[in-house]
Structure formats: structure tokens, C-alpha cells
């Protein structure tokens, strides 16, 4: 998918969260360690929630913000997210670290686009997306730590 507008970025990000959720669930299905299985299932559910939240942003954001062109920015800062991960073979710490790394890349994208935004509506949307990703990454890390304490 060629990312040209902010709407495209939101669609792509939502699809990324959906695919990440699928990979996490695939890993959960083959794991024998129940704690790791719970972690994978929790993270997958959280990724699906993020996908739905992004859909809500798309439906409520201003048309002007969604139609903002950002392809020149993305050409300079290509997005490199990795979905070919073997969650079924990773430790809990490796799983959490990898998921958080992916979220940090999304946060970096939103931060970069926010720095380039020209209009108030675009800055507002990107600021909300940036805060959503930051908050949810912190929440996942916190909750994963709690699961590890069980």
C-alpha cells in the first residue's frame, strides 16, 4: 500500500495492528508455557483494540486532516515494521521487547509527521495518535510485567 495521505497512514497502521495480533495469536496457539500463551493472547487482544481505536479516529477526524499529504515525508523517513516474527519461539521478555520496538517505530512515525504538520487539525490528529500509541505501549509493558509476576 502506497502511503500518500494521513488517511492512508491510519489505514496502514490499523492493518499493521491487525496483522501483529494475528501473529501473536498464532504464537499463542502453539505455546505450551501457559504464562507465555497468556501474554501472547493479551498482546493480541490489545493489538485488535488498537486497530478498532484507529478506525474510530478515521471516522471522527476532520476530512482536511485525513487528506493531508505526507508521501514526501514518508519517502524521507520510510516505515520499517517487521511482522515476520517467530513469537512461538521467543521468551516473554523477547516478545514484549519486540512488540514495544514495533510500537516505538509507530511513535517515531507519528512524532515525525507531527513535526511536519502544517494545519491545526492535522497537528491535533497526529498529537492524539502519538499519545494513543505512547499510552498503549506503556500500558502493555506495565500489564506484561504484572503477568510476569504471577
CATH assignment at residue 106: 1.20.1260
Domain that includes residue 17, residue range: 6-149
Residue 93 lies in a domain: yes
Share of the chain above pLDDT 90, in %: 59
pLDDT, tens digit (0-9, with 9 covering 90-100), for 45-72: 999 999 999 999 899 999 999 998 886 6
If one counts the domains in the chain, the total is 1
Residue 79 lies in a domain: yes
Residue 1 lies in a domain: no
Residue 32 lies in a domain: yes
Residue 23 lies in a domain: yes
Q: Are 17 and 54 in contact (CB under 8 A)?
A: yes
Ramachandran category for residue 119: left, alpha or beta (phi over 0 → left; psi -120 to 50 → alpha): beta
For 134-149, what is the mean pLDDT?
87
pLDDT score for 72: 64
Ramachandran category for residue 62: left, alpha or beta (phi over 0 → left; psi -120 to 50 → alpha): beta
- Report the alpha-carbon distance of residue 23 to residue 138 in Å, rounded: 21
Q: Are 113 and 6 in contact (CB under 8 A)?
A: yes
Amino acid at each position: 500500500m502506497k502511503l500518500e495521505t494521513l488517511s492512508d497512514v491510519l489505514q496502514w497502521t490499523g492493518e499493521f495492528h491487525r496483522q501483529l495480533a494475528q501473529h501473536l495469536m498464532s504464537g499463542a496457539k502453539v505455546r505450551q508455557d501457559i504464562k507465555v500463551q497468556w501474554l501472547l493472547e493479551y498482546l493480541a487482544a490489545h493489538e485488535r483494540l488498537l486497530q478498532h481505536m484507529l478506525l474510530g479516529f478515521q471516522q471522527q477526524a476532520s476530512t482536511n486532516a485525513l487528506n493531508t499529504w505526507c508521501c514526501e515525508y514518508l519517502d524521507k523517513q520510510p516505515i520499517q515494521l517487521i511482522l515476520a516474527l517467530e513469537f512461538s519461539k521467543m521468551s516473554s521478555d523477547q516478545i514484549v521487547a519486540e512488540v514495544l520496538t514495533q510500537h516505538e517505530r509507530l511513535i517515531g512515525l507519528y512524532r515525525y509527521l507531527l513535526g511536519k504538520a502544517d494545519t491545526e487539525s492535522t497537528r491535533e490528529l497526529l498529537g492524539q495518535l502519538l499519545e494513543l500509541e505512547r499510552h498503549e505501549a506503556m500500558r502493555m509493558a506495565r500489564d506484561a510485567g504484572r503477568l510476569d509476576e504471577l
